[in-house]
Amino acid sequence: MADLLDEIQLRYACRAFVEDQPVTLVDVALLLEAGRLAPSAFGLEPWRFVVVDDSQRAAVIRACGDQPAATTSAALIAIVALVDALDPDSDYVRDRLLAEARDGEVAPIAQAYRAFYDPTVIKAWAIGQCHFAAAHMLLQAAHMELGSCPIGGFDPVALAAALDLPADETPALVIAFGRCAYPAPPRRRKLD
């Protein structure tokens, strides 16, 4: 079995996919499962994953500025941040914190979350949490030898409309998947 670090090395942002190579439903299910298992602060999992369907695809691609990674992708998954649900008094937070407490006391966690919660930054914070789920999906894709490209360069209003999002959700990231049309380009990281 490959070292995880080797698989991390395999991933790169692919900007052009081979167009007639589909991503199977099983692949999509595995990508979603990898995202679902991602960590989140307070165990709040403030995300929803939208597998972009044929009726949404053209508008989603337009919202992503017709980036080639999107236009050539075999599958697109949008990660959407839950915002209003993060109010400390919401049923959503109550349920998630009960799960986070497992069999222990929920009150200290609830108190800590209430002290932490700031409605002026919660949207950006929720988007940041979504990026953990995204990282899991990107690495799962690399493990399956699938290419991927995170796409944060989108028009959020157009993307929310394309995905028909309710007002209390905001798009965090789109990820394009497929068989990459070219091998990994050389890269230089800090400290290389």
Interface residues with ligand FMN (CB under 6 A) are 12-13, 15, 67, 69, 131, 149-153, 173, 187
Shortest separation between residue 176's beta carbon and ligand FMN, angstroms: 9
- Cβ closer to ligand FMN: 71 or 90? 71
Minimum separation from the CB atom of position 99 to ligand FMN (A): 27
Q: Which contiguous run of DSSP H or E holds residue 114?
A: helix 107-116
Nearer to ligand FMN, 67 or 90 (CB): 67
Residue 30 tokens, joined: 């595995």
Identity of the residue, 96 or 136, whose beta carbon is nearer to ligand FMN in the bound complex: 136
In the bound state with ligand FMN, the residue whose beta carbon lies nearer, of 81 and 110, is: 81
Residue 123 CB, nearest approach to ligand FMN (Å):
15
Separation between Cα atoms, residue 41 and residue 32, nearest integer Å:
19
Give the residue among 122, 44, 36, 50 at the shortest CA–CA distance from 79: 50
CB 178 within 8 A of CB 17: yes
Shortest distance, CB of residue 42 to ligand FMN, whole angstroms?
Answer: 22
